[in-house]
Structure formats: structure tokens, C-alpha cells
Structure 1
């Protein structure tokens, strides 16, 4: 027996997953067969994961406006990372693994065994909600998790990040096609395939060219991935930008130290030339008072000049780096905007395309597409024929 494997991004509706809300495709009589593995309050999970790290980060902050009051709210209202992620895991489809069919129980056992090792396999993905649904057309799992990394050297040492969480688990990415996410999903599919095999079910793979996606769907998916990568880069650059801002702030503090030192030279007795005592010779006065004071002043001036030139050099270098970062960020924003616009167009085109298939039928639309391609394909064949003929001559 062979079955396909599907691991897709879910909508993350907790009300749907826990069945507080029942959609029209839910068979209420079968809901009692569902399995709830966990259903925790996500706010509590955020407190558990990040409170200590946020406190450590706030304690180090020199600027009150950069302290984090509520990390959950910061992520929820921000645009850098999602609050949590959901995957929907399924084997087979409504035709070969329907909940009313003979293989429903087997599918449930396989998914249950797969989930039993999920948390251990993924220590950087804090699962807070997991449900096995057996009351829709096909048995499937909803797994919701908060991805996090530890040991970060920028900002809070423990923070939400899908990319780095998966990297900590060994999925490094490397290209647009081979991202951390795609590598991790493939790994999870292989784990599920092993579980299936133990139950006598082989993994039916539909190929590596994504034949089950329409061209528009595939393009849309690729644009979405590119946007996610750009957003991740923007987030990293923002953190880097903040680091340089802190350094410039430290330069300003250095200026303040120099000003305070100048006041000290004007007011503190150690740096004032005393009046000569009665009957003291000029030579003794020079030796006991003038020369020690000059020595102290030289040391202070040397220290000030060293601090000044170091700070000035750092300031200029940081300004140059800042400008470069700003330009790079602007380029990334423009690229992101273009991709978002293109993705929006693809979504609209895909919606229209699906509507046409629904209204006129898939078969008729496929025939029209084939006819539309024929002139172009014929032209390409003619060109190849002419090239071959010229080559033979």
C-alpha cells in the first residue's frame, strides 16, 4: 500500500483546532475521536521561554526606550517574526484515506506515532498546541509551536526566530530552494515515511518538480519564500543597526567624560598650582610643586588625546558603516516591495484562474491552455528544425 505525505503551513486557528468553533466540514459525531495532545495558553509559553532573557537584556540596556515591557506584545505587533507557526501533517487524501474508509484507523496510529517523537526531535520548537483530527475528510495533525534560539549575541539572548531555531537543529539552508524550512520539512517527511513503513505503508512520492501545483501556485510559493528570506535579512540588519547606534551613543558618553575631566582640571586641588611657601627658593618650588603638576597634566592630556582620537576614528568608521547599512536596508526594502507586489498579482491571477476552472470545468480550461500553447510550441519546433537543417548543410 502506498500513500502520499503532506506537511503544509496551517492557519493556526486555535478555536478550530480545539473545536471551540466547528466548521461546516466537521462531522460532529466523530469529534469525540479526536486527540488533544496539548493546548496551552501561548502567553504563558512566552513567559516561560523569554521572561528571564528579557530581564537580562533590560538590565544591560543603557536606554530606557529600548527596554522590552512585554515580549509577547512586541512579537505580536511587530513584523519581524510570526507569533507562532503551525504545520498540518497528513498522509493520503480524501479518496484513499478517508475517515469513513477502512484505512482511517491505521492513518491515525501512524500520525500518533509520528507526533510522539516530534518534541524530542525538535527541541527549539516549543509545541503549545497539538491535535489529531479524525472528524474531517482525512485524518491529519495540527502542530503549533513557537520557534526560539538561545545564545544570541544580539539583543535578547533567547528570542523568537524560525530560521535560527532550525539552524540550531542542523538545518542551515543554502539557497532559495534549499532553505532551512524546506530542509526541515523534508526531514520530517522522511521521519513520517519511516513510521509508515513500520506499519506496512510505502511513501508515494509525486516527484520533485511539484507537478501537483499549478504554475501560478508554484510562482506564488516561491515569491512567498523570497519575501520571508528578505524579511529575515531585514530583521538581522535592524539588530546590527541598533548595535552601531549603541556604539555611537557610547562615543557621545566619551565626549561627556572629557568635559567632566576638563572641569576637574579647573577645580580640583591636585591640578592647581599652589602659592610658594615663605622662604622657599625658586628651585625648590619648581622641584616640589611645578614639575609634579606638569607631569600630572601631561598624563591627563595624553590620556585625553588618546581617547579623543580613538573615539573620533570609531565615530567616522561607524558613520560610514551606518550609511552602508542604511543603503543596504533600502535596497532590501525595495526588493521586498517588488516581490510583495508581484506576489499580490499572482494571488489575484491564481484566484481568477481557479474561478475559471470552477465555472467552466478543469477539463475545458486545460484544453484551452493546451490550444493556447500550441502556436508557441509549433514555432519552437520549426526553429529547432531550421537549426538542425542549417547544421546538416
Structure 2
């Protein structure tokens, strides 16, 4: 059952007439926090962000807890009460009562993990009344809200994040969640040999649609066992699927860019190769002449006076030597040296061009290897994306989305709890 909740009654700050105070020491306290402290931990940061956006002072919220208490849309907290059997078959002082208490304890210890968006601040197992029963008080909250505080109180959204989507009046988020929790308790009971007698549930006049819904619910229950083995793997895939898809898009862009760079490098290398071939052919053609020029240049590179002999006694040698032979030889030597220097320049340019061509070839080879690696990564990511699609097809889009929401909610809860611990340590240090 669900109720308004009385934390003071649950913690036994006052005793009702139906309580045996001599057995109160048998009660179990799981947690007992001030609900206002919980509100500060959960909503203070969101409240600051909300108030900073307001341009009118009358729209700012001074105390979020007071706003919820005096508002009409949400309750400040909710309480559920769970009991197995009654005083006739599960009396608190009997052996069966002890068994019921054990079942309730197991149920309680897994409640927060199963319901991360329901922040428990007070929980007690009472053994000092006629029948063992469990009180759980919690604040339901949602994160990432587009309306009001981005982190705010909302039972509907908190249950929706757990995968319970409302439908008809009889199939609200709360009703679905209550039935789910009853089944969780019934499973623990069955492990201890206690069968759930569902009184008042023998509906003989179900419509065809309701019948199909119930049959479908049975099928879903049968699939739960199979789902557990896949859930952890599925959560891991879901957590990284968006990252993989993003990486896949980036990788495809990188491959496209690499292909463009490779095509440009291929063209550039081809031009360099053709130019190098022309230089090589030209050098091959003039190589024999260059060798003769080198020998000739060496032979006639000495002083012209040493190269040309003195004129004979019968010749006008001096005139011939000074006016004709010597200027001619000097001119030939100048030309030969110029040709030789040009040859060296062409040869040097060819070597540089050959080095540039080799560098382009090496770069082209590296790009080719990178392209092959990228294509391999692309194929691997597409395989992973295909596997994720298979998981989504088997489990259903709603179930997968519910798991995603639960994983995100759990991450946010853990982050907020860590921040709360840091704030607590900071306050204690001050």
C-alpha cells in the first residue's frame, strides 16, 4: 500500500497503542535522514541555476522544499508499506513472522539499486506490531528537465525513467511500478517457499484486449530471465553506441579526406615522376658529351701561354699567339666551363627532384596504409553498430531506451552523491 508517510511514527519518536514497545529493539533502521537535507543535496545546485536565469525577482525560489510542500502538483515525498500475510499466518512473534522479516529485509536491500530515481531517506522494518512490515519513504526526482528546475521532484518522470510509461487510467506509471515491485517481492518469497495468493484478481470477464495484454505480460515475464544475461552487455553497448556512431562518422570523414590527399599526392608524384624521367633522358643524352667536355676542359683549363707553343723562327708567332690563338682558346675555355657548370646545376636539380619524388612515394605509401587501417576500423564499427541494431530489435526500442535512461540516471545519481559527500566534507572541514 502507499500512504502519506509519518517519519516520526516510523522512527518511533512516538508510540501508537498497537505497538509493543518491549519488542521495538527488534526493529531495523536502514536509513533515517532529514528530508530537508536530502532536498539540499538533490536540488540546491539546480535551484541556483534556475534562479540565475530569472529576470524577475518574484519568479525566483527561496526554498524549494517549502515550494513543494505548499504546492499542489507534487508531494514532498512518498511512502510505501509492504507486508507479507497477516497476524494469523505471519505473526511477528512466530517462526513464520521471522521468515517474513527475512524476505522483507532482502527486498529492502535491493530496492535502491532497482529504483535509482527514488531517493530513500527513511526506511524501517517494524517487528513491534502484530505483523512484520516495511516502511520506505523516498523523494522521486528527475534530471534534465526542460521545465522549471533541471533537477526537480516528479513521481511521474522518475517512474518513467525506470521504464514505466503511462497509458490508461488503470495503467498509470504508479500502478505499473507497484505491480512490478509486488512481483519482485513475490520472487523473493518464492525462493523461501512462500507462494503469493493473489486475492481478488480472478477476472472472469476480461475483454479481448485486456486478455491479450495479460498474455503479453506473461511473455515478457518469461523473457526477463533471458534479458538479465544480455542486460549488462547491452548497457555497455548503449553507453558507447553514440560514441561509436560519432567515431564512425569522423572516421568516414577522415577516410574521405585521406582519399582526397592521396589522390593529390598521386597526381603530384606522377608529375614529379614524368619530370624526373625527362631530366633523366636528357642527362643520358648529354652524358657522353659531358665526359668529353670534362676532359677537354681539364686539358685546356691551364694558362693559355702553357697550352700554345711559341711561334717558330719562320712564323710571326707573337702576333698570331696574342691576337688570334690566345683569345680563341680563352673563349673556348669560358664556354666549356659555363657548359660544365650548367651540367652540374641540371644534375643537382635532378637529384633534388628524385628525392622529392621518393618522399612523395613514401608519403603515398603511408597514406595508403592509413587508408587501409581506417577502412578496417570502419568495417569493425559498422559490425558493432549492426550488433547493436540486433540487440535493439530483440529487446525492443522501448526496453532499450529504458535501459539507456536507467544507465544515465544511475550515472547522474552517483555524480550527485559524490558531490554531496564532497560538500559534506567541506562543511565539516570549515
Give TM-score scaled by structure 2 length.
0.46
Q: Structure 2 unaligned runs (5+)?
A: 205-430
Match of 1:34 in 2: 27
Deviations 1:89-136 (A, max 9, x none): 111111111112220110010000000100001111000000000010
Is 2:69 aligned against 1:76?
yes
Is 2:180 aligned against 1:187?
yes
CA contact (8 A) 1:10 1:88 kept: yes
- Assess, with a 3 A threshold, how the Cα gap between structure 1 residues 210 and 68 changes in structure 2: closer, same or farther: farther
Query: Which stretch shows the higher mean deviation, 59-68 or 41-50?
Result: 59-68
* Other structure's SS at 2:66 match: helix
Is 2:187 aligned against 1:159?
no
**Distance in 2, Cα, partners of 1:10 & 1:96:** 24
**Distance in 2, Cα, partners of 1:181 & 1:210:** 21
**Distance in 1, Cα, partners of 2:18 & 2:147:** 46
CA contact (8 A) 1:10 1:142 kept: no
**Distance in 1, Cα, partners of 2:136 & 2:81:** 7
* Other structure's SS at 1:184 match: helix
* Other structure's SS at 2:82 match: strand
**Distance in 1, Cα, partners of 2:61 & 2:202:** 45
**Distance in 1, Cα, partners of 2:159 & 2:102:** 27
Give TM-score scaled by structure 1 length.
0.51
Match of 2:141 in 1: 148
Note the aligned Cα RMSD (angstroms): 1.4
State which of 104, 108, 111 in structure 2 corresponds to 1:115.
108
**Distance in 1, Cα, partners of 2:202 & 2:97:** 29
Give 1:210 shift: 9.0
* Other structure's SS at 1:202 match: coil
Paired residue total: 204
**Distance in 1, Cα, partners of 2:6 & 2:200:** 31
Give 1:208 shift: 2.3
Where do 1:194-209 residues align within 5 Å?
Answer: 194-208=187-201
Give 1:11 shift: 3.4
Match of 1:56 in 2: 49
Give 1:203 shift: 1.1
Q: Structure 1 unaligned runs (5+)?
A: 1-7, 212-393
* Other structure's SS at 1:37 match: strand
Q: Which structure's residues are more often helix, by fraction?
A: 2
Match of 2:218 in 1: none
The runs of at least 4 aligned residues of structure 1 exceeding 4 Å deviation read: none
